[in-house]
Amino acid sequence: MLLSLVVHTYSLRYWFPATIMLGTAPAYLLSWGAWRLLSTVLPAKLYHKLDDRLYNIYQSMVLFFFENYTGVEIIIYGDIPKNKENVVYLSNHQCTVDWIIADMLATRQSALGHVRYVLKDGLKWLPLYGWYFSQHGGIYVKRSAKFNERAMRKKLTSQTVCGAPMYLVIFPEGTRYNPELKNVIDSSQAFAAKEGLAVLKHTLTPRMKATHIAIESMQGHLDAVYDITVAYEGTLDASGQRRPAPSMPEFLCKECPRVHIHFSRVDIKEIPTESVFFRRWLHERFEIKDRLLTEFYESEVADKKHRFPGEGKVSPLSLSKTLPSVIVLGGLMLPLLMTENGRKLYVRTWVCGTLLGWLWVNVSP
């Protein structure tokens, strides 16, 4: 019985925030849908402006749970610019929490509403979220020969033309680095060796196409590239071997005490545009990441292990940035659940949102 209570209490640490985040989605979607209808006769720039505000509210609520609720310590190496910029955010990719890390940095720059993702194509099947991410400016891409370069360029160009602020998050590795998936790592390393590139140990070989198209398509709109390297503390086993990074449920269960984030800003003018030179540039950035992660995980000097070089500053997130969103979205959700008609509308919103997503997946070009 005691064991059952412990297990139940542990699961609640995840299910409580998950229920709130998923539960507020229909109320959020209804609010966004109302604005979308009203904005059909308004300039696209005005629609994007309020859409970014609405997105900021929802993602601030998400950050309440991933930062304030978990109590995770965020340690940042490097100085984040105080002013908002139009940027491409490049990071190593280890787990789904990496999406949240991008939000964590964006909110510290007051740019949370501007975050848009380049995601693998299969994620567009997520009920409600998959469809909405696309409406907010996200881009779904397929790998290799199925990659639709024309569609990506078209979407990015349409957003830059209307002046939409851009904080475009890309994970160039194309898939997550998982130390337990030896075949994926071996394949990535073999490809690098074949192409005459440095073999990487703690990241996968980056794919250049999506990143190159993004930077090339928005050349006159972008200010910089943010080169981000993330390490999750607590991912070494007793023998010193690297373990997989925490999943979202594990993170919400407070299994990660600290996240170390190395920040480097690269001015857009310093990045080569010709594909051959760009490929080399991108790989060199990942060589730097690999050296940082090697020192983080393998350094034999105690003071250098579990940290990046340079001064790391703890960066707490104020409740004033997140708690109001929890109150607002909770206030929208509760009336829906308190009446029978409200509950029916709530369920219909989930169903309609899922159907809209299905139609978008199967009908859109």
CA atoms within 13 A of residue 15's CA, in its CB half-sphere: 6
The CA–CA distances, whole Å, from 143 to 79, 147, 346 equal: 34, 5, 36
Alpha-carbon distance of 248 to 337, in angstroms, equals 26
Res 27 pLDDT > 90: no
The two tokens of residue 119 are 């995601």
Q: What is the model's pLDDT at position 2? A: 38
Q: How many domains are contained in the chain?
A: 1
Beta-sheet pairing, 312-314 with 87-91: unpaired
Res 197 pLDDT > 80: yes
Beta-sheet pairing, 258-267 with 224-232: antiparallel
Going by C-alpha positions, the residue among 142, 128, 136 that lies closest to residue 169 is 136
Mean pLDDT lowest among 76-90, 111-125, 137-151, 165-179? 137-151
The average confidence (pLDDT) of the chain is: 85
Res 304 pLDDT > 70: yes
Q: How many residues does the chain have?
A: 365
The CA–CA distances, whole Å, from 111 to 100, 181, 214 equal: 14, 35, 19
Say what the pTM is. 0.88
- Our measurement of the distance from residue 60's CA atom to the centroid of its chain's CA atoms, rounded to an integer in Å, reads 13
Summarize pLDDT for 264-282 with one digit per residue, the tens. Answer: 999 999 999 999 999 999 9
Summarize pLDDT for 331-359 with one digit per residue, the tens. Answer: 766 665 566 665 555 555 545 544 544 44
Beta-sheet pairing, 224-232 with 87-91: parallel
Domain that holds residue 87: 1-363
